[in-house]
A = this chain, B = another copy of it.
Amino acid sequence: MISRKVLIIGGGQLARMMAQAAPSLGIEIRVLASPSDTSVLNLAEVVVGDYRNVNDVLQAAKGVDVITFDHEHVPRGVLEELLSAGHVLRPSPKSLELVQDKLHLREQLAKWGVPQPKWHGGPGNVKDMVRDFLRTGVAWPLVVKRSVGGYDGKGVWVLRDDSDLSSLDGVESPGWVVEEFCEFRQELSAQVARSPHGQGLAYQVVQTTQVDGICTNVIAPAPDIDEATGIAAQRLAMELASKSEVTGMLAVELFCMPDGQLLVNELAMRPHNSGHWSIDGAVTSQFENHLRAVLDLPLGSVKPTWPYTVMVNVLGVNPVDESVLNHVLAHDPGARVHIYGKEFKLGRKLAHVNVSDSDPSRALARAQHAADRLSGTIR
């Protein structure tokens, strides 16, 4: 019997969708989940524990071939203990540092000569840092980020002027990054899968839309970009995958500036919200390719299967009853709904909808309607 065993640390929707993809390749999934993680219940072997607790993680790691991640919050010390115990971590703790510490990312990108927004940062007093940065000629608004622990817009502040500095009062962080606010034309995401033996494949570049730091929709491929920009984004992602020695999926979030220049905003080293379209719009989804990559299996074709696939996130607005799903499925038999099995919370990512179509505007309208129903935006 063909069988490989993967431990995923974290039991959110990414673990859920990896668990759905895994059986096809004979991959067994164990998940280290918190008691409140309902997304993976009965979909994998679930070990309840705390990813910050070395003993919990070591216990969960027994007998697996490789360890990978649903999120990037596992503390450095825990990762090091796993390595010392002989476990295989993909991506490696060294690679993960780039996504765990935004200050480290900025410094490393600067060393590599990779284009990024103007920035200033370090440990110390964040207000002094802002003032120092303004003195270099950068103008308001500015973006301030805690170096560690942020996600989905948390730990990030957009400051319009001096008076907004007070929003940082009392916030502690071991480090800070202050950045220029980029007036981009489009936000793009370039995803690549990279395996330990060095194979890399780039998915088509997509356009992402963020509201308050949370992804709301993704159009694949990104409309209104020229071929050269698409290829440049793919090359940049492949280069970063190689330089960071990532194994698994890498998402490179990019600002595409009015002059066409690409600036690296953030990285993610796992399946990413910008790649959820691939479940229904590519030969091999990002979830299967992440598993293939971390197990050092050959990667699957990343070719799109439709002219356009659009993904819209379902962010909880009002609790909805089950009849809403019936409406959505009846209204559009081609809408591909992916529910995450989570309790309703305001603003929480509860599901996403993929729609494939020959026309990107129509695909977006269809997916948006389905998502608005499921989120409770339309009642």
Contacts and interface: CB of A to CB of B under 8 A. Distances in A.
A81 B356 CA distance: 45
A326 B343 contact: no
A229 interface: no
A155 B34 CA distance: 50
B25 A337 contact: yes
A138 interface: no
B336 A283 contact: yes
Q: Point out which of A21, A26, A330 has the most chain B C-beta atoms below 10 A from its C-beta.
A: A26
Given A42-B45, A44-B42, A330 B298 contact: yes
Interface stretch (A105-113, A114-122, A159-167, A301-309): A301-309
A20 interface: yes
A174 interface: no
A339 interface: yes
Interface in A283-320: 283-284, 292, 297-301, 303, 305-306, 320
A336 to B, nearest CB: 7
Q: Point out which of A1, A28, A299 has the most chain B C-beta atoms below 10 A from its C-beta.
A: A1
Nearest to A280: B283
Contacts of A228: none
Given A25-B337, A337-B25, A2 B325 contact: yes
A25 B333 contact: no
A329 interface: yes
A20 B25 CA distance: 12
B20 A24 contact: yes
A43 B45 CA distance: 8
Interface string A319-342: 010101110011001101111011
A142 interface: no
Interface residues of A, number: 50
Q: Point out which of A43, A283, A344 has the most chain B C-beta atoms below 10 A from its C-beta.
A: A43
Contacts of A344: 1
Nearest to A303: B334
Given A24-B20, A45-B42, A333 B2 contact: no
Given A333-B299, A333-B301, A336-B283, A29 B1 contact: no
Contacts of A38: 1
Contact of A343 (B1, B29, B283, B320): B1
A339 B24 contact: yes
Nearest to A328: B298
A304 B108 CA distance: 46
Nearest to A320: B2
A16 interface: yes
Contacts of A351: 26
Nearest to A319: B1
A185 interface: no
A203 to B, nearest CB: 13
A300 B336 CA distance: 8
B1 A337 contact: no
Contact of A341 (B26, B297, B306, B341): B26
Which 5 pairs from chain A and chain B are nearest by CB?
A298-B330, A26-B339, A298-B329, A301-B333, A301-B334
25 contacts: A2-B320, A2-B339, A3-B322, A3-B341, A4-B322, A16-B23, A19-B23, A19-B43, A23-B339, A25-B329, A25-B337, A25-B339, A26-B339, A26-B341, A28-B42, A42-B45, A283-B334, A283-B336, A284-B333, A297-B329, A298-B326, A298-B330, A299-B329, A300-B329, A303-B334
Given A25-B325, A300-B334, 8 more contacts: A3-B322, A20-B23, A23-B339, A25-B329, A297-B326, A298-B329, A300-B336, A305-B306
